[in-house]
Structure 1
Amino acid sequence: MPQLNPDPWFLILSSTWLMYSIVLQPKISSYLSTNNPTNKNNKTTNTKPWTWPWT
C-alpha cells in the first residue's frame, strides 16, 4: 500500500505547515480585528436574603 509510506508525504506535510505558520498566518491574523476591552461597570447590587419558611 503506497499510502502508508511516509517518505513522499512527510516532506509535503511539513513544508505546508511551515509555509502556513511563517508566511500565511501573519497575513491572515492582520485581517482579524480583536475586540477592544471596555470598562465594565462594577455596580454592586443590593440583594436581600431569602427567607426560608421552615427556619
Structure 2
Amino acid sequence: MPQLNPNPWFFIMLTSWLTFSLIIQPKLSSFVSPNPPSNNPPTTPSPTPWTWPWT
C-alpha cells in the first residue's frame, strides 16, 4: 500500500515544520500586540433596571 510509505511524506512534513519553526514563527512573534494587557482588574458594569413603558 503506498499510503504507508513514509519516504516522501515524512520529508515534506519535516521540512514544513522546520520552515514554520525557524522562519515563520520568529517573524510572527516579533510583532507587538496592538492591545497590550493591563494590570487593572476587570470592572463589571452595574446593571440598571429597565423601565417598561406599560408598567
TM range (shorter): 0.5 to 0.7
- Alpha-carbon separation, structure 2, partners of 1:11 and 1:2: 15
Give 5+ residue unaligned stretches, structure 2: 42-55
Which runs of structure 1 show a deviation greater than 6 angstroms over 4 or more consecutive aligned residues?
A: none
Task: Please name the residue that 1:36 is paired with.
Answer: 37
What's the RMSD between the two structures over aligned residues?
Answer: 2.2
The 5 Å alignment of 1:1-55 reads 1-31=1-31, 33=33, 35-40=36-41
Q: 2:20, 2:10 → 1: CA distance?
A: 15
Q: Deviations over 1:1-55 (max 9, x none)?
A: 2111001111111011000000000112223517334155xxxxxxxxxxxxxxx
> Which of structures 1 and 2 has the bigger CA Rg?
1
- Once residues 21 and 2 of structure 1 are traced to their aligned partners in structure 2, the CA distance between those partners, rounded to angstroms, is 29
Equivalent residue pairs, number: 41
TM-score normalized by the length of structure 1: 0.56
